[in-house]
Amino acid sequence: MNEKILQLGMLTVQFLNAGKHQEAEGAILQILALNPNEYNALKIYAHILSIQKKFHECISVLHHAASINPRDPELFFNLGKAYFDTRDYEKSIEFFVKNINLTEPTIEVFLDIGSAYHCLKNYQQALVYYQKTLEIDPNYSPALNNSALSFLESQDYLKALECIDRAIEISPRDIDILSNRGNILIKLQRFDEAILALEKAVLINQNFIEASVNLANAFVHTGNLDAASSLYKRISLQEPNNAENWSNLGNALAKQGKYDDALSAYNKASTLNSDHKYLTGSRFQMQSFLCSWDATYWQLKKLLCNGTLTTSSIPFHHLYCHDDLKVQQEITESYSRNVYPQNNDLGALPQPTKKDKLKIGYFSADFRDHPVAFLSAELYELHDKNKFEIIAFSLSPSSSPIAHRIKNAFNNFIDASGMSDGELAGLARSLEIDIAVDLGGYTENSRPGIFSYRAAPIQLSYLGYLGTMGTNYMDYLVADRHLIPNEEKKYYTEKIIYLPSYQINDTQRKPPSNQSTRFELGLTEDSFVFCCCNHNYKITPEVFDGWVRILKNTQNSALFLYGDNPITISNLKNEAAKRGLDSNRLIFGGRLAYDDYLSRYKNFNLFLDTSPYNAGTTASDALWSDLPVLTLVGRSFASRMGSSLLSSLDLPELITHSQKEYEDVAIELARNAAKYAALKSKLISNKSSTALFNSKLFTKHLESAYLQIYDRATQGLKPEDTVIV
């Protein structure tokens, strides 16, 4: 029998050398049929099962072998490997340690223990074992690469870069290392350097998907969306069954305004994995941008309104989907915990002390041609520089006129676009910022992660995002009584700073130099023109139903809408026709330069607000241009913005509380010329006598709030609601 076993063993080795694993398995099983405890055969059989990725069977065979010889370190090393492959990382570590206890540790076992700890997200222990590897061989590039990845996950990007650069010195053409370097540089906001590293990796091997994905991500960050989309398309074709690839492609196309193509990419991702993160919200967003109100739209909306799928969308998607504050709070808190959890790496800040001049840090990616900049420019100019030193942390570069004006208004304007979240928070601390103001929230290009490190003793949210941040590190949210009534405060994680009027405005805006005409816009001189210049995603079927009824009940009227996407325009015209309205009564106009955009408002009679996501900057622009705005109040912050603006102008007659009232007021103003004229006259008069466009008064109120909340902090008191009168 021993001769038979010997012959079968030799045959097994021949099959293995030839890559014939099934034949090798057949031969080894014959040996084990003759002797189930043939030790070497068991080890070879476990090896064959591992090659075939039959890891659980491999583990069973190895345990059988270990019962025969419990002193063989190789068995325990192989068990560690097998458990690692089943993702049972704790068991994996257990058997790797048994290996170490029986023999001299090797580089490989230390590396594998470190990798197991990394997978358990115990990055500090992972680094301990990678260091043990490097003590044996300081030039072992896999250990340097893995150390970089653990530092990366720990958000210690500079140490990660130091390790990866050492690894590249040793292995300059290792595409994994090059790709990881690119990813680290992306985290450090050093996108141009990241692109160079990643292009080198892709040049070495175009089929290396991870490097290509990282390169496309870097292109997105630099604004090279054409390159990003092209690369994502290639990746999606190379790996067509990966939902992440299609989702990435959809994201890039959406940023380019190619909403139909983006929706197709998202739908493809959904067929592969309907539970892929944020996919439900992304699909709904594209349907909303396109005003494509088919069965899928309603299905997606129902899922979002339900609120049970906490990873199906980002908080912003819920601002225009519904005004259910409870759902918005739950989604936002879940999102902040998962994506921007509190980070204690920088340690606690000391209690603030009394001082004569406070340092206010304004953080924004929108010090550029953006509504936040157009609204807030004068605020920075009006700040009392004797009492406040104001410092801008610009999260994206810009060279526009409004950016130049804003830059000149600050005591210190810092281009922080190339800094990581942790570095930026550390910089704010080193500058001893007293109050950090986030102007972005959960909007595009914003950086909530900065505040997770606690950039300043007091952190607050204002202007850019219309809702709660859902975190335990944002202390205050600026609002007014119209935006957050007392009974709704429980849905906000921040304490509320109640100002008499919420929105800052720029009173330095000059009247447009060029006056557009109705003829140029495709409007007749004698018609009553309703308008809504909000983005199309804010238009819901319910809102549109109301607009159609208003038009049907007002003769010689038209509705001017913002529209620069031909598919969206076609969809809205079709929706009008479905409702029995002549689609020619809808007039569309695209994006214009700011002065021309303001000029266009002079040709309209009444701005019809959207709900549940009201107009913000567009509404105040319309009011500034003497155009009345009609709004419908909801429950959420975003659905009460119109009420806030109109209350600050003392125009309660334009605030409605039901769909019927909204439509009745619009129809009455279109039919009753005297009533409309009186309302418009009141608007023009109130602009100079009420709070909305009194930027000096607003600045004083905000500064008073800053002083009060800072004084409270110096006394060691926790944040509390603050009312400014």
Helix (H, G, I), strand (E, B) or coil at 162: helix
Strand pairing class (388-394; 476-479): unpaired
Question: What is the structure's pLDDT at 175?
Answer: 95
Question: What is the structure's pLDDT at 304?
Answer: 94
For domain 2-252, give its CATH number from 1.20.1080.10, 3.30.428.10, 1.20.1250.20, 1.25.40.10. 1.25.40.10
DSSP state of 446: -
Q: How many Å apart are CA 548 and CA 676, to the nearest integer?
A: 20
Question: What is the structure's pLDDT at 1?
Answer: 52
Cβ–Cβ < 8 Å for 692, 505: yes
Domain 358-498 has CATH 3.40.50.11380: yes
Question: In DSSP terms, which residues pair with 358 in a beta bridge?
Answer: 388
Q: Phi and psi dihedrals of 31, rounded to 5?
A: -60, -45
Sign for the CA dihedral angle at 203, 205, 207, 209 comes to negative
Question: What is the structure's pLDDT at 9?
Answer: 81
* Token code pair at residue 140: 């072992």
Compute CA distances 458 → 60, 433, 475, 569, 711, whole Å: 57, 9, 6, 45, 11
Q: For the chain, where do the domains classified as CATH 3.40.50.2000 start and end?
A: 518-693
Cβ–Cβ < 8 Å for 364, 443: no
Q: Per-residue b/e over 462-488, b at no fewer than 16 CB within 10 Å? A: bbbbbbbbbbebbbbbbbbebbbeeee
Q: For the chain, where do the domains classified as CATH 3.40.50.11380 start and end?
A: 358-498
* Ranges assigned E (strand) in 563-617: 586-589, 606-608
> What order do you get walking across the sheet with 412-415 strand by strand?
412-415, 388-394, 358-364, 435-438, 458-461, 476-479, 495-498, 722-723
Question: What is the structure's pLDDT at 450?
Answer: 97
* Token code pair at residue 93: 């570590």
For the chain, how big is the Rg over CA atoms in Å?
A: 31
Cβ–Cβ < 8 Å for 457, 420: no
Q: Report how far apart the first and last C-alpha atoms of the chain are (Å, whole number).
A: 99
Q: How many Å apart are CA 422 and CA 343, to the nearest integer?
A: 9
Q: For the chain, where do the domains classified as CATH 1.25.40.10 start and end?
A: 2-252
**Closest residue by Cα to residue 67 from 91, 47, 42:** 42
Question: What is the structure's pLDDT at 5?
Answer: 81
- 327-332 own/partner pairs: CB under 8 Å, 24+ apart: 328/467, 328/468, 328/491, 328/636, 329/468, 329/470, 329/491, 329/492, 329/493, 331/307, 332/442, 332/467, 332/468, 332/469, 332/470
Residue ranges, the chain, pLDDT below 70 = 1, 309, 513
Amino acid at 414: I
What does CATH list as the number for 518-693?
A: 3.40.50.2000
Place of tokens 């109100």: 293
Cβ–Cβ < 8 Å for 639, 323: yes
Q: How many Å apart are CA 430 and CA 389, to the nearest integer?
A: 15
> What order do you get walking across the sheet with 586-589 strand by strand?
586-589, 557-562, 528-532, 606-608, 629-632, 655-656
